A and B are shown apart, each in its own frame.
Chain A
Amino acid sequence: MTNHTHQRPVIRTEALTRHFTRSKKTVEAVRGLDLEIQQGELVAFLGPNGAGKSTTLRMLTTLIPPTSGTAEVAGHDVVRSRAAVRRSIGYVGQGNAAAFVQRGRDELMSQARAHGIPRAAAKARIDELLAAFDLQEYADRPVQTLSGGQRRRLDIAIGLLNHPDVLFLDEPSTGLDPQNRANLQEQIRRLHQDGTTIVLTTHYLEEADALAGRVIVIDHGVVIADDTATRLKERLGDLVLLGFATEADATTAAARAESALTGPTLIDRTGTQVSIRTPRGADSAPAMAIDLAAHGTPAIRMEVHAPTLDDVFLDLTGRSLRESAESTTQTEGAAA
């Protein structure tokens, strides 16, 4: 998709599987994952709580061994050549990378030492990262006194310290305000431009869309879609909600929209409201509104919603996210 993409997979998994057994109950967290991610790709794992995103990342980063199947990262097997994998990757986990009793700068320095980066180079790199994530003010305070978002930025800085060839980010934007979210996206784009292979997880389709060329939707430990965000969205379409003065108007308008719109379109009328799900609905909505007004059934309210993860999910599985969350809520909590 970009000029950095070469035909050599940096991440390759074959039937990658992981089970957890707790008090005699087995959870199949990841079930037979087959993946190929090329060098320089920016991939987002999208899926509800408990889908197996973190477990996949934890296997790819050598934190837990697979129950079965194999995985290679940067040309090294994640079980047989753990040390080599660890030297090639950066990892920002779902938790906090910096210990609460430490200071941010000290943790960055110990990370540099762990990677054998000489002191002077490490210092320069640390200053660079503190500036990039707007952390200079907080670097010399104990981590436990930082806000959630400040801590999260520190986690990311630590993960980037060694200029990894392959970067894994597990929900990197959790707890960030819109400004820092935007900054994070900017940094991730830069890393991508420089050729870093990036795998991140998220719950938000917008985020996956804003960042990743490729979105892998995971549910119950299996891949249920692997496509570009644009295509996932197009296939689903935007939701256009139109409100009318009377039910009669709404009925007429629904019929008119039906004949005017092309492509896979779903139209539904409830009372005085018409909901239309159609590809590129945001683009066609203004013309539609003008057309309806010109034919004597003017819309009095209009909302346009881009598809959400929930919509993609509903489309792919026939279940809404909420339903699927219910079956896993008991086991979550601590992991969240």
Chain B
Amino acid sequence: MTTLTVPAAQVRHTTRVPSRPTGFLTDTWTVLLRELTPKLRQPASMLFAMMQPLVFLGLFAPLLPDVENGSALQWFVPGIVVMTALMGASMTGADLTAEIRSGSHERLLVSPLSRPSLLVGRALKEVVPVLFQTAVILAVVTPFSFDLHLGGVLVGAVIVSLFAIGLGALSFALATAAKEQDWVFWTVQQMLIFPLLLLSGVLLPLDGAPGWLRFLSDINPMTYVVEAERALFSGEFPADVVTGGFVAAAVVAALGVLVGVRTMERSS
């Protein structure tokens, strides 16, 4: 037995580490940092959610006719930015499913981290991939017929970030509810993102659509986000459209966090 014992240093379990109670903000920061660490260590992992949008950009944009006030790209790119946010943030719950399966989520649930912080910290981190992905898309299209209006893009980034926080929170809520069954998560996620995407007018304008389709598009918050992004990315700041985008994104964010926190609190 003695011969088997590792000659490694033994823990001095007598030295107590000073721990202190943490609050909601500290906890949220802890969760946020933990989520971001692997992404920052491997930024390429954030490109995964972009594959589909970039393919759309490459294959769809050349098909678009030029619109009367500017290039097709100018019209198309803001939609692709929102689409990327939708794809990335809606998939993010899958990471939680993996953690529920492996046991690391259980460890966080036993730690003193508060339930709301476990959700809010995760949802907030969605901002980072969204900003990174937006920067990549803009870097790709700016050499072509796309005019970069920095002011508008920055305001647009705030709106799309809020939208991503909300979507991310909803995605985590879905993952929490689905527990370890990832097929439930993916089925619901796929069922929801395509209607959201198609009804938002990202790929095709819904101007000539029948009434019922227009109605569905009108109640889709993503529609307003896309419209606001289109104006902002062209360097315009129409108050009603920008406010509409902000309100829609903020509603999604508030709803997401509310539903997410409730689901997380109820999970145990």
**Contact A93 B107, beta carbon cutoff 8 Å:** yes
Instruction: Indicate whether A336 reaches chain B with its CB closer than 8 angstroms.
Output: no
| Cα–Cα distance between A116 and B13 once the two chains are bound (Å) | 18
A196 nearest in chain B by CB position: B13
User: Which residues of the other chain, B, contact A98 by a CB distance below 8 angstroms?
Assistant: 104
Given the known A-B contacts A129-B11, A182-B4, A183-B6, are A114 and B113 also in contact in the complex, defined by CB atoms under 8 Å?
A: yes
**Contact A115 B19, beta carbon cutoff 8 Å:** yes
User: Which residues of the other chain, B, contact A131 by a CB distance below 8 angstroms?
Assistant: 8-9, 11
CB distance from B18 to the nearest CB of A (A): 6
0/1 interface trace, chain A 75-96, chain B, CB 8 Å (1 if under): 0000000010011010101111
Instruction: Indicate whether B112 reaches chain A with its CB closer than 8 angstroms.
Output: yes
Instruction: Indicate whether A53 reaches chain B with its CB closer than 8 angstroms.
Output: no
Residues of A219-265 contacting chain B, CB below 8 A: none
**Contact A86 B111, beta carbon cutoff 8 Å:** yes
Instruction: Indicate whether A103 reaches chain B with its CB closer than 8 angstroms.
Output: yes
Contact of A93 among B9, B26, B103, B268 (CB under 8 A): B103
Contact of B107 among A62, A91, A118, A125 (CB under 8 A): A91
**Segment at the A interface, from B30-38, B70-78, B166-174:** B30-38
Instruction: Indicate whether A180 reaches chain B with its CB closer than 8 angstroms.
Output: yes
Given the known A-B contacts A87-B21, A102-B34, A117-B19, are A96 and B41 also in contact in the complex, defined by CB atoms under 8 Å?
A: no
User: Which residues of the other chain, A, contact B19 by a CB distance below 8 angstroms?
Assistant: 87, 115-117, 162-163
Instruction: Indicate whether B10 reaches chain A with its CB closer than 8 angstroms.
Output: yes
A88 nearest in chain B by CB position: B112
User: Which residues of the other chain, A, contact B9 by a CB distance below 8 angstroms?
Assistant: 128, 131-132
User: Which residues of the other chain, B, contact A67 by a CB distance below 8 angstroms?
Assistant: none
Instruction: Indicate whether A178 reaches chain B with its CB closer than 8 angstroms.
Output: yes
Contact of A182 among B5, B14, B30, B107 (CB under 8 A): B5
Instruction: Indicate whether A138 reaches chain B with its CB closer than 8 angstroms.
Output: no
B103 nearest in chain A by CB position: A95
Given the known A-B contacts A62-B110, A86-B110, A102-B37, are A116 and B6 also in contact in the complex, defined by CB atoms under 8 Å?
A: no
CB distance from A193 to the nearest CB of B (A): 8
| Cα–Cα distance between A174 and B163 once the two chains are bound (Å) | 44
Q: Which DSSP category, helix, strand, loop or mixed, fits chain B's interface?
A: loop
**Contact A96 B6, beta carbon cutoff 8 Å:** no
User: Which residues of the other chain, A, contact B11 by a CB distance below 8 angstroms?
Assistant: 128-129, 131-132, 160, 187, 190
User: Which residues of the other chain, B, contact A117 by a CB distance below 8 angstroms?
Assistant: 17-20
**Segment at the A interface, from B94-102, B153-161, B191-199, B234-242:** B94-102
Instruction: Indicate whether A310 reaches chain B with its CB closer than 8 angstroms.
Output: no
Instruction: Indicate whether B218 reaches chain A with its CB closer than 8 angstroms.
Output: no
CB distance from B234 to the nearest CB of A (A): 38
| Cα–Cα distance between A100 and B11 once the two chains are bound (Å) | 25
User: Which residues of the other chain, A, contact B126 by a CB distance below 8 angstroms?
Assistant: none
A135 nearest in chain B by CB position: B8
**Contact B18 A121, beta carbon cutoff 8 Å:** yes
**Contact A114 B27, beta carbon cutoff 8 Å:** yes
CB distance from B164 to the nearest CB of A (A): 19
Residues of A155-197 contacting chain B, CB below 8 A: 155, 158-163, 178-180, 182-183, 186-187, 190-191, 194, 196
**Contact B13 A95, beta carbon cutoff 8 Å:** no
CB distance from B99 to the nearest CB of A (A): 5
Instruction: Indicate whether B131 reaches chain A with its CB closer than 8 angstroms.
Output: no
Contact of B41 among A103, A110, A162 (CB under 8 A): A103
**Contact A114 B37, beta carbon cutoff 8 Å:** no
User: Which residues of the other chain, A, contact B20 by a CB distance below 8 angstroms?
Assistant: 116-117
**Contact B16 A163, beta carbon cutoff 8 Å:** yes
User: Which residues of the other chain, A, contact B4 by a CB distance below 8 angstroms?
Assistant: 178-179, 182-183
**Contact B268 A63, beta carbon cutoff 8 Å:** yes
| Cα–Cα distance between A103 and B39 once the two chains are bound (Å) | 12
Instruction: Indicate whether A287 reaches chain B with its CB closer than 8 angstroms.
Output: no
CB distance from A243 to the nearest CB of B (A): 30
Instruction: Indicate whether B108 reaches chain A with its CB closer than 8 angstroms.
Output: yes
CB distance from B264 to the nearest CB of A (A): 14
| Cα–Cα distance between A132 and B1 once the two chains are bound (Å) | 17
Instruction: Indicate whether A133 reaches chain B with its CB closer than 8 angstroms.
Output: yes
Contact of B17 among A87, A162, A187, A191 (CB under 8 A): A162
Instruction: Indicate whether B66 reaches chain A with its CB closer than 8 angstroms.
Output: no
Instruction: Indicate whether A111 reaches chain B with its CB closer than 8 angstroms.
Output: yes
| Cα–Cα distance between A13 and B17 once the two chains are bound (Å) | 29
**Contact A134 B99, beta carbon cutoff 8 Å:** no
A sample of 24 cross-chain residue pairs with beta-carbon separation below 8 angstroms, ordered by A number, consists of A63-B106, A64-B268, A86-B112, A93-B106, A95-B104, A96-B102, A96-B104, A102-B104, A106-B34, A107-B104, A113-B33, A113-B34, A114-B22, A114-B30, A114-B113, A115-B22, A116-B19, A121-B18, A132-B10, A155-B103, A179-B6, A190-B10, A190-B11, A190-B13
Known: A114-B113, A116-B21. 5 other contacts (CB 8 A): A93-B110, A114-B111, A117-B17, A163-B19, A190-B13
Instruction: Please report A residues at the B interface, Cβ cutoff 8 Å.
Output: 61-65, 83, 86-87, 89, 91, 93-103, 106-107, 110-118, 121-122, 125, 128-129, 131-134, 142, 155, 158-163, 178-180, 182-183, 186-187, 190-191, 194, 196, 334
Report, nearest first, the 10 A-B pairs whose CB atoms are least far apart.
Answer: A95-B103, A110-B34, A132-B11, A131-B9, A99-B104, A113-B30, A97-B107, A114-B111, A182-B4, A116-B20
